Amino acid sequence: MSNYGAIGVFDSGLGGLTVVKEIKKLHPKAKIVYLGDTARVPYGTRSKETVVRFALEDARFLEKKGVECVVIACNTASALAYKEVKKVCKVPVYEVISAARQQAERVGTRIGVIGTRGTIRSGAYGHIGVACPLLVPFIEEGELNSPALEIVLKDYLKKFPKIDTLILGCTHYPIIAKVIGKIMGPKVKLINPAEELAKKLPVENPSASSGLKDEYYVTDMTPRYKEVAKRFLGWEITPKLVKLG
């Protein structure tokens, strides 16, 4: 078990703040250094080569900030770039897929996954998957209780055969877990990769960073970033604008 002074987390945008939220629940004293690559979001529609290049730049940025581990919050980057990021980083690297897959296989036998096209195409979760490209725009726009969202979700989820476990394979999806649960019914267990990853982080005693202020960075600043960030994280942040590459 390690005593990390600062945990670096990166995502293609602000959705990775759901991962930060779960980490802070379990390790409230740990310092977080977060990077949202908002200038190049989404990663889910990109080629593997592009995702790898972006992820390596994200990881190098966090290492320069002195983090003691790097968390790949993005499911697409976890699926397509984890091995490459792990090779170049001098600190331990964690991704969101393996912990969620292990938990799903512990509690279920007929497992489904929803995620971006990139994540589903990669087959990284190892179970039947359905790409749901329209969900992120609904969530980003705050249409969390929209009848249209429910219609789109039903259309996606009906593509599964009978399943007993569903992995929410995108950082955005925990925001709409209640709607997904309503459609799937109480017998289907929902797995939040952010929650499972937070449990796996080897932070024995994060008091080493107690009192240190979290740092948030983005690669593009939009007028709505505060509203979206608060929706994902639960509290307001004031990120700094940075340039990668």
Domain check: are 102 and 187 in the same one? yes
Return the pLDDT at 69. Answer: 93
Q: Does 232 map to a domain? A: yes
Number of domains in the chain: 2
pLDDT of 1 reads: 35
Predicted TM-score of the model (pTM)? 0.90
**Of 69, 89, 132, 170, catalytic:** 170
pLDDT means per 10 residues, the chain with 245 residues, are 73 94 90 95 91 98 95 95 97 96 96 94 94 93 92 97 96 95 97 94 58 89 84 90 90
Do 131 and 89 reside in the same domain of the chain?
no
Residue 169: the pLDDT is: 96
For the question of residue 74 being annotated catalytic, the response is yes
Residues 55 and 120 in one domain: no
If asked whether residues 37 and 148 sit together in one domain, one would say no
**Do 170 and 123 fall into the same domain?**
yes
Residues 63 and 114 in one domain: no
Instruction: Decide if 89 is catalytic.
Output: no
> Is residue 91 domain-resident?
yes
Query: Within this chain, do residues 113 and 59 fall inside the same structural domain, yes or no?
Result: no
The answer to whether position 10 is within a domain reads: yes
pLDDT, residue 66, reads: 93
Q: Which of 69, 74, 89, 132 is catalytic?
A: 74
DSSP structure string for the chain: -B--SEEEEEESSSTTHHHHHHHHHH-TTSEEEEEE-TTS--STTS-HHHHHHHHHHHHHHHHHTT-SEEEE--HHHHHHHHHHHHHH-SS-EEESHHHHHHHHHHH-SSEEEEE-HHHHHHTTT-SEEEE-TTHHHHHHTT-TT-HHHHHHHHHHHTTS-S-SEEEEESTTGGGGHHHHHHHH-TTSEEE-HHHHHHHHS-BS-GGGGTTPPPEEEESS--TTHHHHHHHHHSS---PEE----
Domain that holds residue 20: 6-96+196-241
In a domain, 1, yes or no: no
Could you tell me if 181 and 236 lie in one domain? no
| Domain-embedded: residue 185 | yes
CATH number of the CATH domain containing 164: 3.40.50.1860
30 and 88 fall within a common domain = yes
Residues 135 and 164 in one domain: yes
Residue 145 included in any domain: yes
116 and 181: one domain? yes
